[in-house]
Chain A
Amino acid sequence: DVKVTQSSRYLVKRTGEKVFLECVQDMDHENMFWYRQDPGLGLRLIYFSYDVKMKEKGDIPEGYSVSREKKERFSLILESASTNQTSMYLCASSLSRASANEQFFGPGTRLTVL
């Protein structure tokens, strides 16, 4: 089974702090994704990566950056956390060569910025 893990289930940070959210997958997937989920808005793509050191902006990249130094690990960075970044963050991965390319998700990190 595909396993996607995220470093924390719950995180509380203060405004202005630098925040790292880590995601690791164990199935050799090429693609990795970061979403945020807010009530009534569904999932919105922040960034994704299709290969090591490669990244592309999603729909809402402002205030975020990412890092992918190894294939299995994709990090989301909030350079200076703000209260409007309080949200649920979901990481996902997918295999490029699969016919459906379904994304497999981690358990999510609920981030609160005070």
Chain B
Amino acid sequence: AQKITQTQPGMFVQEKEAVTLDCTYDTSDQSYGLFWYKQPSSGEMIFLIYQGSYDEQNATEGRYSLNFQKARKSANLVISASQLGDSAMYFCAMREAGYSGAGSYQLTFGKGTKLSVIP
């Protein structure tokens, strides 16, 4: 079974509108972390936002917020007031702490969602 599932291969959003990118995850760990990265056409992966499994509040970073629903194992990214520069691939990733040591620093990535912002 996939550990990270992003069900939307591609999405369109009108400029200045909000958009939600879906991410569900699968883990039996109690302690884990969830990340979102943005990859523009230039190729570089840009870290956007992080949510720890024990964090009670949803993470926010500027126009990005993470809608964390632990019981449903979902960690959706919400981008408010979309801009043309938001057009990119977006990846959800998870870090598990199933065992100690180096392995706890690995990230497992989803397959990504391509977001296109329409003027």
Chain A contacts to B: CB under 8 angstroms: 31, 33, 35, 40-45, 48, 50, 54, 56, 58, 88, 90, 92, 94, 96, 99-108, 110
Minimal beta-carbon separation of B18 from chain A (angstroms) = 24
Task: Identify the closest chain B residue to A104 (Cβ).
Answer: B47
Are the C-beta atoms of A99 and B52 separated by less than 8 Å? yes
How many residues from B make CB contacts under 8 Å with A? 24
- A-side contacts of B112, CB under 8 Å: 42
Give chain A residues whose Cβ lies under 8 Å from the Cβ of B105.
31, 48, 50, 94, 96, 101
B44 touches A108 (CB 8 A): yes
State in angstroms the CA–CA spacing of A90 and B42 once bound together. 12
Main secondary structure of the interface of B (DSSP, over half): mixed
Q: Which residue, A88, A94, A101, A104, has most C-beta atoms of chain B within 10 A?
A: A101
Total A-B pairs in contact (CB under 8 Å)?
59
Other-chain contact of B111, A42, A100, A103, A106 (Cβ < 8 Å)? A42
If A48-B102, A48-B105, A103-B107 touch, whether A88 touches B91 (CB-CB below 8 Å) is: no
B7 contacts the other chain (Cβ, under 8 Å)? no
- A107 and B106: CB pair below 8 A? no
Q: Are B91 and A100 in touch, CB under 8 angstroms?
A: no
Contact with A along B85-117 (1 / 0, CB 8 A): 000000100010000011101111111100000
Which of A41, A58, A101, A108 touches B43 (beta carbons < 8 Å)?
A: A108
Please judge, given known A-B contacts A107-B43, A107-B44, whether A43 and B109 are in contact too, CB under 8 Å.
yes
What are some 20 contacts across the A-B interface (CB < 8 A)? A35-B109, A42-B111, A42-B112, A43-B91, A43-B109, A44-B109, A45-B106, A50-B101, A50-B105, A90-B45, A96-B105, A100-B33, A100-B50, A101-B105, A102-B50, A103-B107, A105-B37, A106-B44, A108-B43, A110-B43
